[in-house]
Amino acid sequence: MSVALAFDIYGTLIDPHGVVDELSKHVGDRAWEFSNTWRDKQLEYTWRRALMQRYENFPVCTRQALDYTDMLLQTGLDESAKAALVQVYRVLPAYDDVPASLQALADAGFHLFGFSNGVEEAIVGLLEHAGIDQYFEGVVSVDALHTFKPDPQVYHHFIEVADTARENCWLVSSNGFDVIGAVSAGMKAAWLRRSQSVVFDPWGVEPTLVINGLEELKYKITL
C-alpha cells in the first residue's frame, strides 16, 4: 500500500529563523533573542486559540506574536519595520538538506504532502519560493478545520485527505508536540532532531523513529 508522508513546514522544511537577517536591521544583536521569542509566542498563541475555540488563522497569530515580542523586548518597531518582517516570513528559506531529500523520497515512490498550521495560500507560496513545491501532491492546512496542531482532528483530517491506511501515514516534524499529537492520533511519526541540544518531551509517547537529517528518511521508512 502507498506510504503518505505529511511534512510539517515551519521548523522542519522551512527555517522560521530565516527572518534573523531582517531582524538585525531593526534590533541589532538582539535579533536571535527576538526571533526565538517570536516563534515561541506564535506557537503558544495557536495552542491557546485552539483550546479556547477562539480561532484566528496562522498569519494573525504570527502578527500578534510579533507585536507581543516587540512590547516585551521594548524594541520599538514601527509599522514599516513590522510589515517588512511579516513580508520576510512569507519567503523564508528551506533548510539545506530539504531539496535533495524530497527529490530522493519522491523518486523512491513515497507520496509527499505539506501539512501545516499555516494557511494553504501561504504554504504554497513558501514551497514555491524555496523551489520545492514540485515534490508535493498537495498541501493540507489545519485552517480548513479552524483549529491547530496538536488537536487530534487535524491528524484524522490528514489521513482522510491522503486517502491511505492510517498505518501508512507518517508525520515528519521537528516539533515534539506535533509528533506526540500524531502518534496519539494513531499515525506514525518521525521526529527530525535538527539540533542535538533539543530534547523530546518526557510524556511516555515516543516517536516511531528519530532522524538527525531528512536524508535518513529514505532508508528508515519502507514502502
Residue pLDDT, tens place only, 18-70 = 999 999 999 999 999 999 999 999 999 999 999 999 999 999 999 999 999 99
- What's the pTM value of the predicted model, to 2 decimals? 0.96
Given a cut of 70, is residue 1 above it in pLDDT? no
Domain boundaries, the chain: 4-14+92-220, 16-89
Block residue for cell numbers 509527499:
112
Q: At what angle do helices 176-184 and 152-162 cross, to 10 degrees?
A: 70
Q: Residue 217's pLDDT is what?
A: 95
Distance (Å) of CA 74 to CA 13, 23, 34, 63, 78: 31, 14, 10, 16, 12
Say whether pLDDT at 222 is over 90.
no
CATH fold of the domain at 4-14+92-220: Rossmann fold (3.40.50)
Q: Which CATH architecture has domain 16-89?
A: Orthogonal Bundle (1.10)
Q: Which of 8, 70, 151, 178 is catalytic?
A: 8
Beta-strand ranges (E) seen in the chain are 4-7, 111-116, 138-141, 169-173, 188-192, 209-211
The pLDDT-based confidence of 2 (bands split at 50, 70, 90) is confident
One-letter amino acid of 12 = T
Our answer to whether residue 15 is catalytic in this structure is: no
Task: Determine the residue type at 90.
Answer: R
The SS3 of residue 124 is helix
